[in-house]
Amino acid sequence: MRTGWGATLAVALLLMTLAAVFTVGVTAQDAGSADRATFPYELPERASLPGTADLSNSAYTVISYTLPYSPPFLIDDPRYAKTCFDIHTLTVYRPVQDGTPLDRRPVVFFVHGGGWTDGYADQYGFVSRSFSGELGWVTVVIDYRLTSDQVTLAENCPARRSGSGPAGVLTATKAAWYPDNIQDVAAALSRTVGYIGDYGGNPEQIVVFGHSAGGHLAALLATHPAYARLRPAIKGVVGLSGAYSVKDLNMVVFGANINQTWPGGITDTEALDEGSPTTYVTKGATLPPFYLLHCGQDLPSLPEQAIMFYNKLGQLGFDVRHDFLPGYDHVSEMAAIAFVTATPTVLIADFMEEAFWGYGVYLPLVARESP
C-alpha cells in the first residue's frame, strides 16, 4: 500500500500520461551510433540510443541518450513493475535542426519530485518538450535513489549487485535513505558537467531545476557545503514548490515520507536541519541565483516554505526572485512545463535565459495565455 500524501499518486499518473504523449522512439540499430566510451561506465544491454522524438509541431527535433552517471545500482519497485532497474542513469535530450544535432547549447538539469519516495525519469520526458523541442536547449532528466519502503535492492536478476541470501530468496532490503538521494543528484550533475559537451550541451551554462522534493534536492545541491565543488557549474537554481526547511513542513501531509527518507524520522530535527537548504544560507556564503515559485492551490506548508526561503536569501543579500502562480495546483504547475507558452514555463525560461547569458536585468512576465 502506498504511503505519503495522496497527491503523489496523482502526480505520477498524470506525468506518466504526459510522458506517453512525448514518447521517445528508439531502435536497436541506433545503439552503436552513440559514443559509449565517453561515459566511464558501460551501458546496460537494455539501453538503446539515441532515440528520436516525433515533435512535428516543435521548432526542433529532439534525440535522446540514456546514460549511466555512477556504477550500476539495481532496484526493484513493484509499484511500477520495475525489476533489476538501474537507478544510476540519466537521459539527455538534444535538439536537432535541419538534421544536424546542435552543440554548445544551454543545459537544463531537471530533478523530479515525488516526496523523495516516488517518480522516475521516464515519467518526465515531457520536460524537454519546451526546453529542447521549442527553445533549442539540452535537457537532462535524472533518476536518483528513492527512499520508499517499497523500493528494495534488486536480488533476483543476473546482474545482481547487492543484498544478502541465496539467489531467488528476496530479503526486501530497503534501497535508500537520505543522503543517498542528494549524493546521487550530485553525482549526476558532476557527470553532466564533465561529459555534456559530448551530447550537445555547454557545461558553462547549466541551470538546476527541481519540482517539489526535487526542488528541495536542487536547492540542497546548491547550498550544502559537501557539494560546494559543483557550485561554480550552477548558473542558477529554479525551485518549483520546493521544500527548504524539512522540520517545518506540515507533518500530517509530509510526515510519512520524511519517516521513510530520514532514518530518525520526523523527531530527529538535527538530521532534518542537516538536510535542509535554509541551514546553509549564511552570511558570506557564495550561492548561485535562485528563482522560487509556488502555486495558488499548493500542498500545505509549501507556500510558506518558498516565502521563508526567499526572505532569508534576500535579507542576506543573495540574488533571489519569487513568483506566485494563481490558478495552478501542485500537479498542474508541473504539467504546464510541457507547454512553452504556459505561464510557469515562460517565467522559468525567462529566468534561465538571464542565468545563461547574464542579461543583468530581470524583467517581469508579460502575461501569456496558459494552456
Bridging pattern class, strands 89-97 and 138-142:
antiparallel
How crowded is residue 273: how many other Cβ atoms within 10 Å of its Cβ? 15
Residue entry with cell 543583468: 360
- How much is the pTM? 0.85
Nearest CA to 86 among 35, 47, 32?
47
Full pLDDT tens readout for the chain, 371 residues: 444 543 443 444 444 444 434 433 322 222 223 332 233 333 232 233 344 444 557 899 999 999 999 999 999 999 999 999 999 999 999 999 999 999 999 999 999 999 999 999 999 999 999 999 999 999 999 999 999 999 999 977 764 444 444 444 456 799 999 999 999 999 999 999 999 999 999 999 999 999 999 999 999 999 999 999 999 999 999 999 999 999 999 999 999 999 999 999 999 999 999 999 999 999 999 999 999 999 999 999 999 999 999 999 999 999 999 999 999 999 999 999 999 999 999 999 999 999 999 854 333 333 333 33
Strand partners, 290: 237, 320
What's the rounded Cα separation, in Å, for the pair 307 and 59? 36
Task: Please state the separation of Cα 308 from the chain's center in Å.
Answer: 22
What's the rounded Cα separation, in Å, for the pair 32 and 21? 27
What's the rounded Cα separation, in Å, for the pair 335 and 331? 6
- Domain 7-357, CATH number (from 3.40.50.1820, 3.40.50.720, 3.40.47.10, 3.40.1170.60): 3.40.50.1820
Domain range summary for the chain, segments of one domain joined by +:
7-357
Give 133: exposed, middle or buried? Use CB within 10 Å, 0-12, 13-18, 19+: buried
| 3-class DSSP assignment, residue 303 | helix
What's the rounded Cα separation, in Å, for the pair 75 and 83? 7
Query: What's the order of all strands across the beta sheet hosting 82-86?
Result: 82-86, 74-77, 152-153
